[in-house]
Structure 1
Amino acid sequence: MTTYRNTPLFGGALVCDLPEKFADVSKLRQVPDNQEVYIDKDGFTSIIIEITERVGSAGGGLEKDGQALTTHLEELVGDDADTVKVWNTTETQFSHLDETIPAYTLIATQTPKPDPKSQRTSAPDFTALILTLVRLEKEKTDVLITINVPHIKGEYDEEEVDLALGKQGELIGDAVEYAARIWDSFDVKDWGLFNEIA
């Protein structure tokens, strides 16, 4: 059973529940001002909350928001876009945000290209991504919540993971639980934050 703590983000302007076993990466290394990064002390999973400029023209709707979600995903994976498979995309409701604020979540996997020159054996077999996008049109801001779940050989049960069959395995299952807890607990305490960062 995962234990959570209510975690202030961006100086307390945002809050959400994060797993207690996740450490604040900014205490270890430099993190960009528009990001909060937490990493599992016992594993490889990371949670990144990022405030970015809103993608796309004014106005919403599934089509525009879907394009924005795709754009953000492509920016996340960079040159590896052709190694990404999106398994599903759903509309997401945050408990503490106005229900008119659109939010979407996708689950994707990114499989690294084989590199014959690389001697690294610790490269993951694949990395699962749970990406949630919150569209704040008035603030001209997109909030991205990304949970990265690297699957490294020997660190997970390969028999348990087959997303085509709906088998998520323990690591992705845990990450889905973290995401659901974030949706339930995420709250904006200071809307002025979006004027400062965006």
Structure 2
Amino acid sequence: MPVQQLFGGSMSISLPAFAVDVSTLRDIPDNQEVFVHSTTDQSIIVEILQYLDEADEQAVRSHFDSLATDNECDPNNYEVTSIDQLQNITMHQCQSAYSLAGTQRVSKFHESAENQVDVYMGLFRLPQHQADIVVTFNDPRTISPGSSSHSSTHEPTGDQRWTFEQFKESLASMNLLNPGLFG
């Protein structure tokens, strides 16, 4: 998987093939790096967020809940299916690292049509920098016929679609190259 520089070269991550840097298409907040699959509605987002002063498993759940709120999910339309501690990671500066798997039923652009999305999240905890680094893989499983994504999504052939295994490889490759990123 190709290595992608993040935040001006302060971090890096290996991403699966067909990743398009969204910042070449539109403005992205300074605390985010966003990549989309070139032919599916899949995305990987890396965010630097405020450190949550919570136990690790609760912190990853809180970040997932915050994403569901941002996605305007009804509380009955999302759930966490697993939380695990990440092993064999490259970013040794983090205190701990966790992964979460869950689902959300979300609408794009405030549409009434909802899409079923598998959401995978990695959390890297850096309390010494008052930061949580959250990496999210959005993997739509069901695109509603009424969704704007329905007509624009082309089903990839063969091994083009990103997999959870590739996302785990991306998380393992996450690397902090310049701690000065945090000030």
Common topology (TM > 0.5): yes
| 1:54 matches 2:43 | no
Partner of 2:100: helix, strand, or coil?
strand
Partner of 2:165: helix, strand, or coil?
helix
| 1:77 matches 2:68 | yes
1:152/1:194 CA distance change after superposition, 3 Å: same
Q: What is the correspondence of 1:74-113 to structure 2 with a 5 Å cutoff?
A: 74-78=65-69, 79-80=72-73, 81-98=75-92, 101-112=95-106
| Cα offset, 1:185, TM superposition | 1.5
| Cα offset, 1:45, TM superposition | 0.5
| 1:37 matches 2:34 | yes
RMSD: 2.6
1:82/1:182 CA distance change after superposition, 3 Å: same
Whichever residue aligns with residue 140 of structure 1, its letter is Q
**1:147-183 deviation digits (Å, cap 9, x = unpaired):** 001123499xxxxxxxxxxxxxx99x94312222112
Q: Quick check: 19-28 or 77-86, which moved more? A: 77-86
1:128 equivalent in structure 2: 118
Whichever residue aligns with residue 6 of structure 1, its letter is V
Contact 1:25 1:31 (8 Å CA) reproduced: yes
Question: Structure 2 length normalisation: TM-score?
Answer: 0.80
| Cα offset, 1:186, TM superposition | 1.3
Whichever residue aligns with residue 81 of structure 2, its letter is W
Question: Structure 1 length normalisation: TM-score?
Answer: 0.74
1:11 equivalent in structure 2: 8
Identity of aligned residues (%): 29
**1:54-87 deviation digits (Å, cap 9, x = unpaired):** 0126xxxxxx112211211111110424311111
2:151 equivalent in structure 1: none
Gaps of 5+ in 1: 58-63, 156-169
1:160 equivalent in structure 2: none
1:100/1:46 CA distance change after superposition, 3 Å: closer
Gaps of 5+ in 2: 146-157
| Distance in 1 of aligned mates of 2:41 and 2:13 | 21
Whichever residue aligns with residue 32 of structure 1, its letter is P
Aligned length in residues? 164
Whichever residue aligns with residue 177 of structure 1, its letter is E
Whichever residue aligns with residue 47 of structure 2, its letter is E
